[in-house]
Structures are given as C-alpha cells and as structure tokens.
C-alpha cells in the first residue's frame, strides 16, 4: 500500500484525532460526542447538554448546531458548502502536500457528489438521481418482496440468528446488486468492503481504520473498473447499465457515481433496519398497535427514522460571512457540525422527543435524509425496502426476541449495529 496514504491520514484524521482525544480528556462535550464510547452508545444525552438555544454552539472542538430550524437552514443555505476532507486548521504546508496525494474514489473525495458544490454537484447528481425516481424505485418493489421472502425462509430453519448478517444487511445488498448488475455471488465482497469504507465519513479515525478503508477502496475500484468495461461491451437492463451507456460521465465520474449508488442504497437501509428491531421490541405496545393496524407502518417508519437516525451528523463549510439572529459570526473557511440526531430530537419541533410514538403526526419532518440540494437520493428506496421488510419480519416471527446484547458499530456519523443476536421462536 502506498506509504503516502499515511500523509493523507495525518492531515485528514491524525491531527483532528489528537485534538479530539485531548479535548475529550478535558471534558469537551462535542469531542466526547464525536469520539469514544459515550458518543457511540448514547449520543442523545450529550446532544441534550450541547443543544443550547438551538443556534450555533461554540465549543473548543468547533462550531456545532443541534436545533431543528438552524440545522435545516444551514443544509439549505447556499452560503454553506460541503466540508473539505482536510480542514483549514491543518498547517498549510501539510495541507498542500496531502491534497496532492491521490486516493482511490470514495464518498468524501471529489468527484463524489457528496464532496462537490454547484455547479458540478448538479451535473453529477442528475444522472444518478434518475436511478431513484419514484417510478424507477416502484419497479424494484417486486424484487424487494422476493428477496425478503427468500431471506425469511432461510432464517426459519434456525432458532437463533445474527439479524444484521442474515437480514438487515442482506435486503439492501441484494437490491443494490440488482441496480448495479452485480452477480449475487459477489454480495459478500461488497458487504466486507462497505464495512471498511464506512469509517471514512467520520473525522479522526485511527490509522488502522484508514488503512483498511484505503485497501477496500482500492479493491472496490479495481472491481468497478472491470465492471464498467464489461457493461460498455455488453450492457444489461439494470439501472447502472443505463447510466454507463446513456450518460456522458468519464470512468472516474462513473466510479464516483457507483460509490454514491451503493452508499445511498445500502448504508441507510441496513442501519435503519437494524436500529428498528430493538426499538420496536422495547416498545411492545407500539408493536402491538402496528400488528393490529398495519396501515400505520408507513408513519412508523418515519418515526423510526426520527427516533434513532442512521446518519447522526454531517458538516458544512462556511463559504461567506454568516451570522444568524442572536448568534455568533461565522467566518469563511470554518466548519460547522450539523447534528441531524439533535434536530430530530429537538423539543421545539417534536414535543416529548425522547418518546417513541408511531402515531406522531409530524414524524415525517425529520432530517434523516437531509434537505436541500444534498438530500439523500436513496430516500424513496430506503422507505420501500424497510416498509416491505420490517412488517414481514414481525409477521413471520411473532415471538422474535433479542438473544443477547447487540453490538454497536464504533462510528460517530453512521449509527447502526454490527451484530444483533435474536431468537426467532419461543423455546
């Protein structure tokens, strides 16, 4: 592996990591939220302490916002752009050297649309978004039902399973394979690569995590380059083939778009499915209501998204001077952490926000899929998959119970489980 990646790690993660660890030891709440067990296991108590008046909060670890209205405004405001992988606080010589070191295509590097502002963002988003139009997603409905039924049939042969490995990860990866035209035999490759790449969305990851991510992105890139060439020679009827053959994207842009397609269609769905199980099992009255009145499932999915969002936070860079009413002035070049989890549990927007309520009328106002130009393009697909998969799981296994403590992923941005042992049948 190219030793120069160590320079990228030092600039992107190493220096911020040292800062977070030092500030966490001194009790800085934002540093505690973004690193360490407390931020992974129970971020919401820290968020309540950080919320303040809902405007931009100033901590020694940086600017952050936890109120619904300000979070929504920042995500929609053109005076804010995407955060650059290397923060402006990194010493200039190191920053300039690190920026010249190329890394494999990944979600946080241009030309990924996640890392671009207008006008390039719109040019790359438009062809990819065509994969997730309501009509295109509706055509995947039958496949989602087939996959769900197949997985439940396979699970029925066992009394206990790991629900992440056998179900929550398998539903979305099967659908993504359908979208991308990948053979079913390669699904496990993508699950492994995806688990290694996901930490890149955090700030301050360890060198070992960064090393694994780079190896995974290299392997994924090699696979995708070969797949793109195959599609150009012999296109299929899948959505990605349409993107390759009808668009004007370069191979590099197609690689970035493929990463977006897989990320938008996989991570949110897997984590939402996994997060939902313990919530519903710990609220049996709500689950009983859904069983008695299954038409409530659609709104229940929105409440699940609000209550424990799969994407806990994002960040924006200040492009021009900004000062919200009564708030602190924000200078260009500074970054602001936007707490999606904080917005979703803001009592000013969602009364009694820590109560899980599948009848909550405004649950769909959550920001779990973002808003504005960077709103998640896979939102409609995630809703479709979860609306099919969750009711089917509880219908097929009415006695399902946790069979031990689920294991959280040690990530700050993406919230989910890596393992979840469950007992499917009564003893």
What CATH number did the domain enclosing 198 receive? 1.10.630.10
Residue 332 inside a domain? The answer is: no
pLDDT category of residue 371 using cuts at 50, 70 and 90: very high
Residue 119 inside a domain? The answer is: yes
Residue 7 inside a domain? The answer is: yes
In the listed set 57, 79, 102, which residue is the last one of a domain according to the structure? Answer: 102
Q: What is the pLDDT of residue 2?
A: 65
Same domain, 257 and 170: yes
Same domain, 168 and 51: no
Q: How far apart are CA 42 and CA 412, in angstroms?
A: 11
Residue 285 inside a domain? The answer is: yes
Same domain, 54 and 182: no
Residue 277 inside a domain? The answer is: yes
pLDDT category of residue 426 using cuts at 50, 70 and 90: low
Rounded to an integer, the average pLDDT of 391-403 is: 96
Lowest mean pLDDT segment, chosen from 130-139, 219-228, 403-412: 130-139
Same domain, 42 and 114: no
Same domain, 135 and 37: no
Mean model confidence pLDDT for the chain: 91
Q: How far apart are CA 416 and CA 266, in angstroms?
A: 12
φ, ψ of residue 62 to 5 degrees: the values are 135, -175
Q: Determine the Cα angle at 103 with ends 99 and 104, to 5°.
A: 150
The neighbouring-strand residues paired with 419 are: 407
Same domain, 254 and 168: yes
Rounded to a whole number of angstroms, the distance between the first and last alpha carbons of the chain is 50
Domain carrying residue 53 = 1-67+91-102
Residue 154 inside a domain? The answer is: yes
Assess contact for 338 and 413: CB atoms under 8 A. no
Same domain, 155 and 236: yes
Rounded to an integer, the average pLDDT of 50-77 is: 93
Rounded to an integer, the average pLDDT of 169-173 is: 95
Beta strands 335-339; 62-65: pairing state: parallel
Please report, for residues 19, 307, 348, 415, the alpha-carbon distance to residue 57 in angstroms, rounded to integers and kept in the order given. Answer: 18, 22, 17, 23
Q: What is the pLDDT of residue 239?
A: 85
The neighbouring-strand residues paired with 83 are: none
pLDDT category of residue 265 using cuts at 50, 70 and 90: confident
Rounded to an integer, the average pLDDT of 126-132 is: 77
269 or 127, higher pLDDT? 269
Q: What is the pLDDT of residue 237?
A: 86
pLDDT category of residue 107 using cuts at 50, 70 and 90: confident
Q: CB neighbours of 22 closer than 8 A, spacing ≥ 6?
A: none
Rounded to an integer, the average pLDDT of 35-61 is: 89
Q: How far is CA 98 from the centre of its chain?
A: 26
- Stated as kind and residue range, the H or E segment containing 404 is none
Same domain, 171 and 261: yes
Q: Which two tokens stand for residue 84?
A: 């650059």
In the listed set 102, 129, 150, which residue is the last one of a domain according to the structure? Answer: 102
Strands in 335-339's sheet, in edge-to-edge order, are 56-59, 62-65, 335-339, 313-318, 80-82
Assess contact for 152 and 392: CB atoms under 8 A. yes
Same domain, 278 and 409: yes
Is residue 273 over pLDDT 80? yes
The neighbouring-strand residues paired with 414 are: 311
pLDDT category of residue 134 using cuts at 50, 70 and 90: confident
Q: How far is CA 352 from the centre of its chain?
A: 25
Is residue 427 over pLDDT 60? no
Same domain, 98 and 129: no
Same domain, 147 and 261: yes
DSSP assignment string, 297-360: HHHHHHHHHHHT-SB-EEEEEE-S-B--TTS--B-TT-EEEEEHHHHHT-TTTSSSTTS--TT-
Same domain, 115 and 96: no
Percent of the chain with pLDDT over 90: 68
Q: How far apart are CA 211 and CA 216, in angstroms?
A: 9
- Within 10 angstroms of residue 220's Cβ, the number of other Cβ atoms is 24
Is residue 218 over pLDDT 70? yes
Q: What is the pLDDT of residue 338?
A: 97
Rounded to an integer, the average pLDDT of 214-230 is: 94
In the listed set 82, 102, 122, which residue is the last one of a domain according to the structure? Answer: 102
Percent of the chain with pLDDT over 70: 99
Residue 327 inside a domain? The answer is: no
113 or 296, higher pLDDT? 296
Is residue 44 over pLDDT 90? yes
Domain count, the chain: 2
Residue 147 inside a domain? The answer is: yes
Contacts 24+ apart (CB under 8 A), 368-372: 368/268, 368/305, 368/306, 368/309, 368/310, 368/311, 368/340, 368/344, 369/268, 369/305, 370/75, 370/311, 370/314, 370/340, 371/72, 371/75, 371/76, 372/75, 372/76, 372/77
């Amino acid at each position: 592996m190219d030793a120069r990646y160590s320079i990228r790690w030092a600039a992107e993660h190493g220096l911020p990591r040292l800062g977070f660890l030092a500030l966490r030891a001194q009790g800085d709440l934002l540093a505690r939220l973004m690193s360490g067990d407390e931020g992974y296991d129970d971020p919401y108590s820290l968020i309540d302490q950080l919320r303040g008046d809902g405007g931009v909060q100033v901590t020694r670890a940086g600017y952050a916002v936890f109120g619904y209205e300000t979070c929504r405004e920042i995500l929609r405001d053109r005076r804010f752009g995407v955060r650059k992988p290397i923060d402006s606080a990194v010493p200039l010589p190191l920053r300039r050297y690190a920026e010249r070191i190329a890394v494999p295509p990944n979600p946080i590097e241009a030309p990924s649309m996640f890392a671009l502002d207008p006008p390039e963002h719109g040019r790359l988003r438009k062809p990819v978004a065509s994969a997730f139009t309501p009509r295109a997603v509706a055509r995947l409905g039958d496949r989602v039902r087939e996959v769900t039924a197949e997985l439940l049939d396979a699970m029925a042969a066992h009394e206990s399973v790991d629900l992440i490995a056998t179900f929550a990860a398998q539903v979305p990866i099967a659908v993504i394979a359908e979208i991308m035209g990948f053979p079913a035999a390669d699904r496990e490759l993508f699950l492994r690569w995806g688990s290694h790449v996901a930490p890149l969305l955090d700030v301050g990851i360890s060198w070992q995590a960064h090393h694994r991510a780079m190896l995974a992105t290299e392997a994924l890139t090699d696979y995708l380059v070969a797949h793109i060439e195959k599609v150009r020679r012999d296109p299929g009827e899948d959505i990605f083939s349409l993107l390759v053959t009808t668009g004007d994207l370069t191979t590099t842009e197609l690689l970035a778009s493929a990463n977006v397609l897989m990320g938008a269609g996989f991570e949110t769905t897997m984590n939402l499915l996994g997060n939902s199980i313990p919530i519903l099992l710990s609220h049996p009255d709500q689950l009983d209501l859904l069983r008695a009145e299954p038409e409530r499932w659609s709104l229940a999915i929105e409440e699940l998204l609000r209550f424990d969002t799969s994407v806990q936070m994002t960040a924006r860079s200040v492009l021009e001077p900004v000062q919200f009413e009564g708030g602190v002035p924000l200078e260009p070049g500074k970054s602001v952490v936007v707490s999606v989890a904080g917005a979703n549990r803001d009592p000013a927007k969602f009364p009694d926000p820590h109560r899980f309520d599948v009848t909550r009328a405004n649950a769909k106002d959550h920001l779990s899929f973002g808003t504005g130009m960077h709103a998640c393009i896979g939102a409609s697909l995630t809703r479709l998959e979860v609306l099919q998969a969750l009711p089917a799981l509880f219908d097929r296994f009415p006695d399902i119970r946790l069979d031990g403590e689920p294991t959280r992923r040690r990530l700050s941005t993406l919230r989910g489980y890596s393992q979840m042992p469950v007992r499917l049948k009564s003893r």
